[in-house]
Amino acid sequence: MKIIECVPNFSEGKNENTFAAIKLALEKTGGVKLLNLEPDADYNRVVVTMAGDENGILEGAVNACKAAAENIDMTTHKGEHPRLGAIDVVPFVPVKNSTMEDCIKIAEKFGERISKELGVPVYLYEEAARKPERKSLSDIRKGEYEGLEEKLKDPEWAPDYGEAKFNPKLGAIVTGARFFLIAYNVNIKSTDVNIAKEIAEILRESGRAKR
């Protein structure tokens, strides 16, 4: 059996009702298991990790996102983390007996479905990207939610799925396929934010010291 992981990031880090709705949606979905739900109040963001077979992971991702969409309103969202929408990013990751191509196909199915069911523009990134300038999540996120309405007017940023129409409540969704991602926070004994940015630029894979 093919096992695939999905790690959606939602723009809500405080509301327990939202977390409960996401958990319940996954509990009701066969073929998928919730592995972790980690909220961050400062970022006002929650990272959900689930794994399942091909059909289960697709249905789980759709159901979790629909549950989140009912409970999140981007018109009032404030947080420290860059974001493009209520359902900010939904990556699919090959785990066991699965390939990157499998994950790309699932991301495409997810993007097509969720754009129709929620009425949101969807962009494909990383291995699923159809344009080089959309491979990097940070490039797609430029301007963030606050600049999305204007961004959608640019034909160069027409979504891969859905209409180029601004959804004030939900913003836009980025989905795709990638390998495992390791992320961690480091406390620095300084009030100079430029030092932190310099270190991050050196260490991050997307920074200048890519190896």
Is the pLDDT assigned to residue 146 strictly greater than 90? yes
Interval 53-97: pLDDT, tens: 999 999 999 999 999 999 999 999 998 889 999 999 999 999 999
- Structural tokens at position 27: 């509990």
What's the mean pLDDT when you consider all of the chain?
92
C-alpha closest to that of 6 among 66, 51, 54: 51
Name the active-site residue from 23, 33, 81, 135.
81
**Residue 34: pLDDT above 90?**
yes
Q: Is the pLDDT of residue 3 over 50?
A: yes
Whole-number pLDDT of residue 206: 57
Note the pLDDT of residue 186. Answer: 72
Confidence at 203, pLDDT banded by 50, 70, 90: low
Provide the residue ranges of all domains of the chain, joining segments of one domain with +. Answer: 3-184
- In eight-state DSSP terms, residue 171 is B
3-state class (DSSP) for residue 88: strand
Average pLDDT over residues 110-138: 96
Confidence band of 33 (pLDDT split at 50, 70, 90): very high
Measured CA to CA, the distance from residue 104 to residue 94 in angstroms comes to 10
What are phi and psi for residue 126, nearest 5 degrees? 50, -130
User: Which distant-in-sequence residues (6+ apart) come within 8 Å of 27 by Cβ?
Assistant: 34
Report the alpha-carbon distance of residue 145 to residue 157 in Å, rounded: 14
Does the annotation count 81 as an active-site position? yes
pLDDT at 113: 98
Average pLDDT over every residue of 14-39: 97
Q: What is the pTM of this model?
A: 0.88
CATH fit for domain 3-184, picks 3.30.990.10, 3.40.47.10, 2.40.50.100, 3.40.50.140: 3.30.990.10
Q: Measured between alpha carbons, how far is 146 from 3 in angstroms, rounded to an integer?
A: 36
DSSP label at residue 85? B
pLDDT of residue 210: 42
- Residue 101's contacts (CB-CB under 8 Å, 6 or more residues apart) are none
Q: What share of the chain is helix, strand, coil (3-state, %, to 5)?
A: 40, 20, 40
Residue 77: the pLDDT is 94
Q: What is the pLDDT of residue 184?
A: 64
Indicate the helix (H) or strand (E) that contains 18. Answer: helix 16-27
State mean pLDDT over 23-45. 96
pLDDT above 70 covers what percent of the chain? 92
Q: What is the pLDDT of residues 151-193, one digit of tens each?
A: 999 999 999 999 999 999 999 999 999 975 666 667 777 777 7
